[in-house]
Amino acid sequence: MTIKVVIAGFKGKMGSTAVDMVKSDDQLELAGLLDPFATEKEIDGVPVFTVKEALVGFEADVWVDFTMPKVAYGNTRFALENGFAPVVGTTGFTEEQIAELKALSSEKQLGGLIAPNFAIGAILLMEFATKASKYFPDLEIIELHHDKKKDAPSGTAIKTAELIREARAFKKQGAEDEEELITGARGAEFNGFRIHSVRLPGLVAHQEVIFGAQGEGLTLRHDSYDRSSFMSGVNLGIKEVVKRKELVYGLENLLS
């Protein structure tokens, strides 16, 4: 039986890459497409929608979302309320929103995934950084993305910071009398450590976690050079959420 997939944000950089991935997999069927500025009524027989409400009652199993931070929460709620298991790559969710969506998925007995990063290397970077933070509590996160990215810091940086918060004994870094001569020079403060966001044309998605200790340093880095790096994770997410009855936050929760 094929899994019927709707892709929201199908005209975007990630959404269009996800369309190609779904089309290339015999176990998946591209059932519907959503983008507010689409002018087509259908593409190769696949219906195109411009508002999510038009999908009430639509027959599909999974809702893939690569849209924009300001609409992703509403889209994910809508998917759960209408029987589509969400696989969401859009970033910018608050912790409260994720908790609400988890509760809604349990109530609806529907699987789902919100993954700030679908690349396996990024998942491993988060795991290694979390482990290292127990031994190296002094650290800084530097995330680097293309200059069209709307949210900062990245969802991956926030997720990394949240995982580190769980593992690392709290420590406020930097000198007591440290002074920013230009506002923002030390980056965003999260649980005593700093997150820096770099935006440049030519970049895709990259992250470093730099650890410093007495007389030694450790740098962990992951690079997504191409958006295809995310697609095996999206594919896995689609195939896993249909088997599950609750939404998880982070692809690592679906890896065995």
Closest to ligand NAP by CB, 54 vs 185, is: 54
Active site residue 145: yes
Residue 163 phi, psi dihedral angles, 5° rounding: -65, -40
Provide, rounded to whole angstroms, the least separation between the CB of residue 134 and ligand NAP.
26
Closest to ligand NAP by CB, 132 vs 231, is: 231
146 annotated among ligand-binding-site residues: yes
171 annotated among ligand-binding-site residues: no
Closest to ligand NAP by CB, 168 vs 207, is: 207
115 annotated among ligand-binding-site residues: yes
41 annotated among ligand-binding-site residues: yes
Q: Which one is catalytic: 145, 159, 196, 206?
A: 145
Provide, rounded to whole angstroms, the least separation between the CB of residue 11 and ligand NAP.
4
DSSP assignment string, 41-76:
SEETTEEEESSGGGGTT---SEEEE-S-HHHHHHHH
Provide, rounded to whole angstroms, the least separation between the CB of residue 25 and ligand NAP.
18
Tokens of 161: 């910071």
147, amino acid identity: D
Nearest to 113 by CA among 100, 134, 128, 98: 98
The residue whose two tokens read 């918060």 is 165
Closest to ligand NAP by CB, 14 vs 161, is: 14
89 annotated among ligand-binding-site residues: yes
Residue closest to ligand NAP when measured from CB atoms: 12
Provide, rounded to whole angstroms, the least separation between the CB of residue 14 and ligand NAP.
3
Provide, rounded to whole angstroms, the least separation between the CB of residue 65 and ligand NAP.
8
Give the footprint of ligand NAP on this chain (CB under 6 A): 8-9, 11-15, 34-37, 66-69, 71, 89-91, 115-118, 149, 205, 230
Residue 39 phi, psi dihedral angles, 5° rounding: -105, -15
Active site residue 149: yes
Give 8's contacts (C-beta < 8 A, 6+ positions apart).
15, 34, 35, 52, 63, 64, 65, 66, 67, 75
14 annotated among ligand-binding-site residues: yes
Tokens of 149: 């990215």
Strand order in the sheet with 62-65: 42-43, 46-49, 28-34, 3-8, 62-65, 85-88, 112-114, 247-249
Residue 113 phi, psi dihedral angles, 5° rounding: -145, 130
Closest to ligand NAP by CB, 89 vs 137, is: 89
Q: How many CB atoms lie within 10 A of CB 249?
A: 20
CA dist 60 and 77 (Å) reads: 16
Binding site listing for (S)-2,3,4,5-tetrahydrodipicolinate: 146, 155-156
Binding site listing: 9-14, 40-41, 89-91, 115-118, 146, 155-156
Binding site listing for NAD(+): 9-14, 40, 89-91, 115-118
Active site residues: 145, 149
Binding site listing for NADP(+): 41
